[in-house]
Chain A
Amino acid sequence: MGPQHPSTHGVLRLILTIDGEKVRSVVPDIGYLHSSLEKIAEQLDYRQYLPYADRYDYLNAMGNELCYVRAVETLLGIEPTPRCQWIRVMMAEMNRIASHLVYYGALAIDTGATTVLLYCFREREMLLNLFEAAAGQRLMYHYFRVGGLRNDLPPDFCEGLRAFCKVFPRMVAEYDKLLTKNRIFRSRTESVGYLSPETALAYGVTGPCLRGAGVPYDVRRADPYYVYPELEFDVPTYTESDSMARHLVRQEEMLQSVRILEQCLDHLPGGEVNVKVPRRLKPDPGEVYARVESPRGELGCYLVSDGSDHPYRLHMRTPSYYNLQAYPEMCTDAWIADLVAILGSVDIMLGDVDR
């Protein structure tokens, strides 16, 4: 299956052994989108690499920037201003919703319901408009900077976001009725793609896939960063460990993100967004490992500095890479149609896998 196939979410090739419609074995073959992002980091200085951080998981560009910027700032010993921290959290959560919306629609398409995708994109459009107003782009934002942001929020941003927060839960309820509660969709996802917590542990699965297996692990809670300790939100978990559980986790997470956004809007402090940083970023030699919770799981950035103005070594722990490894485990005893539905519920991002 693949590398060119409508529902491999990018350029993934799955080497299948099938017996009729039953799948006997799945071997993912990755690397078609490999763009040596880790090597590129060694040629560029810290500031220049930031746009590349967007390119790992292009549906979660803000989250990737957040991770990279956190790593660099820790290395430099910079603490961003409170307003900057709040805005960064806000952006990351908005991007989480946007990313989950794509997931939602993609899973719907994978199971054959085309319409939900369009509805999801309708709501995502509101977010993308906000991103565009703030960052100037709709997908690869490059909004964060080392020590701050590209610019402060534009004037109508908060109102737009409030409007979104007001509308969105209603829309999620609608998707819920249209897709999640649908008998056919449920029969396609329930008790399909079983991933036990033990397997998840063995394969280092994180994110909604893990929470769908009943483990309440969320980097935002386990290793809190920025203002997350001050925020009230739940980490939804489901114990069914199947595709439906993962789906429900994401659906619930979108609502939790809205909760976070509302709190962000209420608490957003004033003040500067940027702190002064030297023109040439030359961190002391050292190494750092920063983690954030991306929509797909734990996103880590291992950064080594040798005192020069470019990273000595950069490594990103991309969640899709590890989640995809567990994918064959989920596909035991699956049908061909399930393959696609399970892949959709794992929600991999090939840019994130191949790097």
Chain B
Amino acid sequence: MSPIGLIATWLRALLTGWFRAWHIPAVFVDILAWIVGGVVILLMITLIALILIYVLRKVAAYIQGRIGPERVGPYGLFQTVMDALKLLQKEDIVPAGADKILHTLGPVVFFFVCTMGYLVIPWESQATIARQVDLNIGVLFLLAFSSLGVIGVLMGGWGSNNKWSLLGALRGAAQMISYEIPMLLALVCVVLMAGSLSLEVITEQQKALGLLSWNLWKPWLWLPMILFLITAAAEINVTPFDIPEAESELVAGYHTEYSGMKFALYFLAEFSNNFLVGLIFAVLFLGGWSSPFGHPDPLYLPEFLWLVGKAMVVVLFLMWVRWTLPRLRVDQLMALCWKLLLPAAFVSLVIVSIVGLYL
């Protein structure tokens, strides 16, 4: 059991004891645990997003021969923090003629949805952040919530009453819904091999020989892996799939009209989504929390650090791609999905089924 797990168990035991002493029904322990878990996740997401934004800026700067943030704090570490504070102070502008309710709800829904994904991530061998979520359907849960993100985008785009926002939202909707399908199929391949929808089980299966038992090394899973990477990049709108917020065409796409706190929400959600993809990729193909040096970990590092580290590698790769490639056009994006990725996903499903049958 890891430090997080220990602390969580200890807190739970403490609370149960107190509540019993105060004659409060045990249900409230669960409720409190949910609240605390939620707050922890929110803080963590914010923190991760802040760090990621900083890393993104630095990576972009180095790739582009620049320096990047370097003024606020050592090496500009607090630059994103200051930016976040600045955003919080900013006036919240709702354009005249906008649908106020939708305009407000858009970022909230989007942020909510992307936080939900974090619930099923197996951070440690035993503890997930919220044990209450049924782990058996982990993959399904992720997919369900990632497809809900569309609603947040659409709400924001529609509610802004701006041509670019609307175009961006519609593009986003089309893109997310289309790419859902090959992504699902790619995930199904992994699930087929693992025989379980639970992310925890998938991780467990990759831990035995450390690095060598990762799904990454299984040739029949390479195609699903590439497919997942592409479709996930499309789901989270990073270049070359950033057409919903294509800056050169749609100004800022669906969040053109957002400012201040609401913009910060979209922004945070985007980056936490980015990280979530890294996490899922790490769980599915890079052995999750398991150490690359075999099990048990010879380095005795906390397990969640391995997971976060692996996810960071994936995120860095996505950033690298992001600063290299141009953007696809809408029709090309759709053609890529329906004409290339979807057949490829079916092919890979067939391959994996056959391999699974005879292995």
Q: Are A113 and B167 in contact (CB under 8 A)?
A: no
Residue of A21, A110, A113, A337 near B324 (CB, 8 A) is: A113
Q: Which residues of A contact B247 (CB under 8 A)?
A: 6, 112
Contact with B along A89-121 (1 / 0, CB 8 A): 000000000000000000011111111001100
Provide the bound-state CA to CA distance between A182 and B323, in Å: 13
Binds B, one of A183-191, A229-237, A291-299, A345-353: A183-191
Q: Which residues of B contact A167 (CB under 8 A)?
A: none
Q: Are B330 and A111 in contact (CB under 8 A)?
A: no
Number of inter-chain CB pairs below 8 Å: 80
Residue of A21, A178, A179, A182 near B167 (CB, 8 A) is: A21
Q: Are A112 and B331 in contact (CB under 8 A)?
A: no
CB distance from A190 to the nearest CB of B (A): 11
Q: Are A337 and B326 in contact (CB under 8 A)?
A: no
Binds A, one of B63-71, B86-94, B198-206, B347-355: B63-71
Provide the bound-state CA to CA distance between A112 and B242, in Å: 9
Residue of A109, A178, A337 near B243 (CB, 8 A) is: A337
Q: A111-B248, A118-B65 are in contact. Are A335 and B331 (CB under 8 A)?
A: yes
Provide the bound-state CA to CA distance between A69 and B82, in Å: 51
Q: Are B65 and A336 in contact (CB under 8 A)?
A: no
A39 at interface (Cβ–Cβ under 8 A)?
Answer: no
Q: Which residues of B contact A65 (CB under 8 A)?
A: none
Q: A114-B64, A122-B65, A337-B243 are in contact. Are A182 and B249 (CB under 8 A)?
A: no
Q: Which residues of B contact A7 (CB under 8 A)?
A: 248-249
Q: How many residues of A contact B (CB 8 A)?
A: 28
Q: Are A115 and B248 in contact (CB under 8 A)?
A: no
Q: Are A188 and B248 in contact (CB under 8 A)?
A: no
CB distance from A23 to the nearest CB of B (A): 11
Q: Which residues of A contact B9 (CB under 8 A)?
A: none
A338 at interface (Cβ–Cβ under 8 A)?
Answer: yes
Residue of A110, A178, A335 near B248 (CB, 8 A) is: A110
CB-based closest 3 A-B pairs: A112-B327, A118-B64, A113-B326
Q: Which residues from chain A sit less than 8 Å from chain B, CB to CB?
A: 5-7, 21, 108-115, 118-119, 122, 178-179, 182, 184-185, 187-188, 335-340
Residue contacts A-B, CB under 8 angstroms, 8 given: A112-B325, A113-B327, A118-B66, A182-B326, A187-B328, A187-B329, A188-B327, A338-B329
Q: Which residues from chain B sit less than 8 Å from chain A, CB to CB?
A: 60, 63-66, 167, 171, 239-240, 242-243, 246-251, 323-332
7 other A-B residue contacts (CB within 8 Å) besides A115-B64, A119-B64, A187-B329: A111-B327, A112-B240, A122-B65, A187-B328, A188-B329, A336-B249, A340-B248
